[in-house]
Every structure is written in C-alpha cells, then in structure tokens.
Amino acid sequence: MHQRYKQFLVFFILILLLLLVGFEVVSSSFKEHDPLEVHFLNIGQGDATLVQYLGSYQILIDGGPNGKKLLSELSKVMPATDRTIEIVIMTHPDKDHFGGLISVMKTYSVKMILCNGQEADTAIFQQYKKVVKDQEIKEYTFGEGSEISIGKVLELRSFNPDTTVSSKSDRNEHSVVVRMDYGENSFLFTGDADSKTEDDMLKDQEDVDVDWLKIGHHGSKHSTTDNFIKKVTPEQAIISCGKSNRYGHPHEDVLERLRSHNAEVLRTDTIGTISVKCPSSRNRCLVERADKGR
C-alpha cells in the first residue's frame, strides 16, 4: 500500500465516524427501506450507481454524462427530504462517468469526493473542478489499499489505481475499482477498467471473488476477460450502457463469456434501472425491480 493512501485512510475513518453518529439506532424513517440498497441507474451510455445505507446514507459511484437524467433517476430512489450525499466516488475523469456530477453538486450537499487523483484537459472537467471549489467539497485520492468502514457491516476497499496517476495516464486503466462487502454479500464496481487492470489486480492477488459484478467499460470487448470472470465467479453481472449506443456495447464476446460462466446478465439498456435490495447482512441481496423504461 502506498504511504499517501495510508495517511488518507485514518482521515476517512475519523470523518465517517462523525457522519455516522446516531446510525446505530434505526429511526422510523429507516424502516421504510432495506438496510442496504444498490441502484444501478438507467442514465444512458455511462455509469452511475447509488448505494443507500439505512435509508439515508448515500454513496454515489460515478454520475453518468447528463445531470438532468441523473437527477431524475436519483429522485426515484432517494427520500425526497434527503438532500445530502455523503460520498461521491468518481472512478475516472471521462464525461460519461462524471458529467452528471456537476448538477448533483449544485443540487445536493456532497460531503466528500473520492477519486483516482487524475485530471483531464477538457472544458467540462474544468467546469467540474470549479463547482467542487465553489461548493468547498473535499477531494481525496482513493487508491489501492484504501478502506472505509461504515457502521458495523458495510465495508469498501479500493483495488485500483495502484500507482500515482498523471493527466497523461490512460484513464480507463487507472479507474478506481471498489469492492463493497455487506455481511455475506459482495459487490465489485470496476469503472472502465480494462483487461490490463484486471490482470494487474489478479497479479496483486486482490480478493475479486464477489456475488455481484458491475462489468467494466459498459461491456467493451477490451474488458471482462475469461480469466477475470473465472476469478470473480459472479452470480449476477450488471452492464450499464445506453440503448443502441454507437460503441456496440455490450460486445457479444463479453456476453458469451458471462453466459459460459453461468452469470445472470442484467442490462440497463434493456430493463432500465436495476435495484438490488438487501434485507439484512445475513440474507442474500436480490433484484427487487428492473422495470423496462423506468
């Protein structure tokens, strides 16, 4: 683990302990929700996943390309009175992953942003940075070895990037990759990680064996290798992509590899937002709703 990641780890834990004061007692508002909900949002060609814990603690992983669409999807799954998102994780600075975050930061109170530390020389990224500064939101690098514990049973660990990232580094290769554990349930969020990143994680002997895999790079043929799937052994594979997108995502080779490993494939372009509900840390998480056109 790199030294600077270790330094941030202690800070994360202290901040989260402060944010979570009172979360051990479940209020009446929490009872309306499952303890953990994971919503793979239907935001078109891009990525945006909302993790909601105890009904009022949110982690937003990426924000898709369009703020209007993202805000619309968030309004369907977040309590109307909750105007705070505790953590935003921006996996890398490609527009289809962070463009919608600009509107989110203007609409919600975002407590902190975790990212790969990379910047992009684009107009929209400069706009993003201006809003971060104007809203006085703290940003921290969330690289390999960083961990966050939220309450007693929700844990997040970063497997990538494993090096310092420059603006010239390949963005997809250096996507933040996060494993999330909730008791007996496990998820892997891979951003746009490509086959090189997958190989690196396997060489580093990262624990990628999970139940739920968010497929890298929207189902691109350059990600989700056969060897990676063998190690992950996902029961469910979620692909976030836009209907009839110009990239041809998801690639048929990827779909065939997933089928050959008996993974159930769920796609936002065909069934809309995919909502996974976890009734407790001891019970299996299940897809509650995957309504076409939501």
pLDDT tens-digit series, residues 101-151? 999 999 999 999 999 999 999 999 999 999 999 999 999 999 999 999 998
User: What rounded mean pLDDT belongs to the chain?
Assistant: 90
Judge contact between 22 and 55, C-beta under 8 A.
Answer: no
**Can you tell me the distance from the alpha carbon of 264 to that of 274, in angstroms, rounded to the nearest whole number?**
13
Beta bridge partners of 181: 155, 186
pLDDT tens digits, one per residue of 35-84: 999 999 999 999 999 999 998 899 999 999 999 999 999 999 999 999 99
**Can you tell me the distance from the alpha carbon of 76 to that of 34, in angstroms, rounded to the nearest whole number?**
15
**Torsion sign across C-alpha atoms 100, 41, 45, 224:** positive
What spatial distance separates the first Cα and last Cα of the chain, rounded to whole Å? Answer: 41
pTM value is 0.90
pLDDT tens digits, one per residue of 170-208: 999 999 999 999 999 999 999 999 999 999 999 999 999
pLDDT tens digits, one per residue of 149-164: 998 899 999 999 998 8
**Can you tell me the distance from the alpha carbon of 264 to that of 259, in angstroms, rounded to the nearest whole number?**
7
Q: Mean of the pLDDT values across residues 254-269? A: 98
Hey, what CATH topology would domain 3-17+33-289 get? Answer: Metallo-beta-lactamase; Chain A (3.60.15)
pLDDT tens digits, one per residue of 214-248: 999 999 999 999 999 999 999 999 999 999 999 99
* Structure token pair of residue 25: 């007692």
Residue 19 has pLDDT above 70, yes or no: no
Q: Which amino acid is at 92?
A: H
